[in-house]
C-alpha cells in the first residue's frame, strides 16, 4: 500500500503529526493495521511523482497549506516551501486555503502568479506543476512554463513509489526492507 501524508516523512514513517489532521500518525504500525507492506511519503511528493514527465520539475500543491517537491532527472526531493517566511507571512499563509477564502480568488490568483515564476527560476525548473485541491482556481491564467496537475496523478505516484529503492517498505512489527530492484529513481 502507498500512503501520501501531509507531513514530513522519514524512513520509518511520519516525523511529525500532520497539522491539519488528527493525532496518531507518528509511531502507528501501518503495515500491521493494513496487513500488507506499506510505503509512506509526503502527499505532495506522491503527486509530484505522478505528475513528472522528465527533466527538472517543481511541484507546488495548493491546498489547505502549500506542499512542494522537486524532481530532477528521476531524483525526488521533498521540499517544505510552505514554511518559507516573508513579511506577509509564510508561503502557506499567502497561498493556502485560508488566504483564498480571506482574499478572494482574484487576489489569491495574483499572489500565486507572483510567487511561482521566481520559484521556477530559483530551482532552475524546466516546468512547474500546480496540484492540490485549489489548483483548479488557476486554470484560466497560468504563468508561462506552468501547467495544472490533477489529484488523480497521486495514484500514479503511489505506483511509481514502489520502484524507488530509497523508500523503505514498512513491514508488520516495524521491520523494514527494500522491495524494489535498483532503477533510475532516487529520493533524497
Number of domains in the chain: 1
pLDDT of residue 137: 94
23 grid coordinates: 493525532
177 pLDDT exceeds 70?
Answer: no
pLDDT above 80 (res 165): no
Backbone angles phi, psi at 28, to 5 degrees: -70, 140
The angle subtended at Cα 104 by Cα 4 and Cα 46, nearest 5°, is 10
Domain of 104 in residue numbering reads as 2-187
What pLDDT digit, counting tens, does each position of 13-47 carry?
Answer: 899 898 788 899 999 999 999 999 999 999 999 99
pLDDT at 67: 95
- Tell me the pLDDT tens digit for each residue of 86-126: 888 999 999 999 999 999 999 999 999 999 999 999 999 99
Q: What is the 3-state secondary structure (H, E, C) of the chain?
A: CEEEECCCEECCEECCCCCCCCCCCCCCCHHHHHCCCEEEEEHHHHHHHHHCCCCEEEEEEECCCEEEEEEECCEEEEECHHHCEECCEEHHHHHCHHHHHHHCHHHHHHHHHHHHHHHHHHCCCCEEEEECCCHHHHCCCCCCCEEECCCCHHHHHHHHHCCCCCCCEECHHHCEECCCCCCCCEEC
CATH label of the domain that carries residue 111: 3.30.420.40
Query: Measured between alpha carbons, how far is 103 from 115 in angstroms, rounded to an integer?
Result: 16
Q: Mean pLDDT, to the nearest integer, of 58-76?
A: 95
Amino acid at each position: 500500500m502507498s500512503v501520501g501524508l501531509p507531513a514530513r516523512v522519514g524512513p520509518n514513517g511520519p516525523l511529525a503529526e500532520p497539522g491539519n489532521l488528527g493525532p496518531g500518525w507518528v509511531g502507528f504500525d501501518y503495515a500491521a493495521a493494513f496487513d500488507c507492506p506499506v510505503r509512506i511519503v509526503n502527499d505532495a511528493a506522491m503527486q509530484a511523482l505522478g505528475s513528472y514527465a522528465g527533466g527538472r520539475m517543481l511541484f507546488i500543491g495548493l491546498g489547505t497549506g502549500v506542499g512542494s517537491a522537486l524532481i530532477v532527472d528521476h531524483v525526488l526531493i521533498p521540499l517544505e516551501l510552505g514554511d518559507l517566511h516573508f513579511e506577509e507571512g509564510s508561503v502557506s499563509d499567502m497561498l493556502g486555503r485560508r488566504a483564498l477564502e480571506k482574499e478572494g480568488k482574484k487576489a489569491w490568483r495574483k499572489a500565486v502568479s507572483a510567487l511561482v515564476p521566481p520559484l521556477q527560476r530559483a530551482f532552475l525548473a524546466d516546468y512547474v506543476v500546480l496540484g492540490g485541491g485549489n489548483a483548479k482556481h488557476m486554470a484560466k491564467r497560468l504563468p508561462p512554463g506552468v501547467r495544472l496537475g490533477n489529484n488523480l496523478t497521486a495514484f500514479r505516484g503511489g505506483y511509481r513509489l514502489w520502484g524507488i529503492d530509497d523508500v523503505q517498505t514498512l513491514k508488520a512489527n516495524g521491520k523494514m526492507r527494500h522491495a524494489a530492484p535498483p532503477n533510475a529513481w532516487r529520493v533524497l
